[in-house]
Homo-oligomer: A and B are copies of this chain.
Amino acid sequence: MNTGALIEQSLARILRSVSGDGGPPRLAAAMQHAVFPGGARFRPRLCLAVAQACDAAESPAAQVAACAIELLHCASLAHDDLPCFDDAGTRRGLPSVHRAYGEPLAVLAGDALIVLAFQAVTLEQRIPAELRLQLLALLGAASGMPHGIAAGQAWECEADVALAAYQRAKTGALFAAATAAGALVGGEDPVRWRIVGEYIGEAYQVADDIGDVAALPMNLGKPSGRDAALGRPNAVGRLGMSAAQRRLRELIDASVESVPDCPGAEELRQRILAATQQLFASRLARPAA
| Residues of chain A whose beta carbon lies under 8 Å from any beta carbon of chain B | 18-28, 31, 75, 79, 82, 84-85, 101-105, 107-108, 110-112, 114-116, 118-119, 122-123, 129-130, 132-133, 136-137, 139-141, 143-148, 150-151, 153-158, 162, 165, 169
Residue pair A24, B133 in contact (C-beta under 8 Å): no
Residue pair B28, A157 in contact (C-beta under 8 Å): no
Tell me the bound Cα distance from A154 to B110 in angstroms: 12
Residue pair B137, A119 in contact (C-beta under 8 Å): yes
Closest 9 CB pairs of A and B: A23-B146, A115-B144, A27-B154, A84-B103, A119-B140, A18-B145, A24-B154, A129-B129, A112-B150
Using A22-B165, A150-B115, A151-B27 as known contacts, say yes or no to A122 and B140 having CB atoms under 8 A apart. Answer: yes
- Tell which of B102, B137, B150 touches A157, judged by Cβ atoms closer than 8 Å: B102
Main secondary structure of the interface of A (DSSP, over half): helix
Tell me the bound Cα distance from A106 to B169 in angstroms: 18
Residue pair A162, B22 in contact (C-beta under 8 Å): yes
Contacting residues, chain B, for A107 (C-beta < 8 A): 79, 82, 84-85, 107
In this complex, the member of A24, A27, A118 whose beta carbon has the largest number of chain B beta carbons within 10 angstroms is A24
- Copies of this chain, complex-wide, total 2
Tell me the bound Cα distance from A274 to B266 in angstroms: 67
Contacting residues, chain B, for A155 (C-beta < 8 A): 24
Residue pair B116, A31 in contact (C-beta under 8 Å): no
Contacting residues, chain B, for A151 (C-beta < 8 A): 23-24, 27, 112
Contacting residues, chain B, for A19 (C-beta < 8 A): 145-146
- Tell which of B108, B111, B136 touches A118, judged by Cβ atoms closer than 8 Å: B136
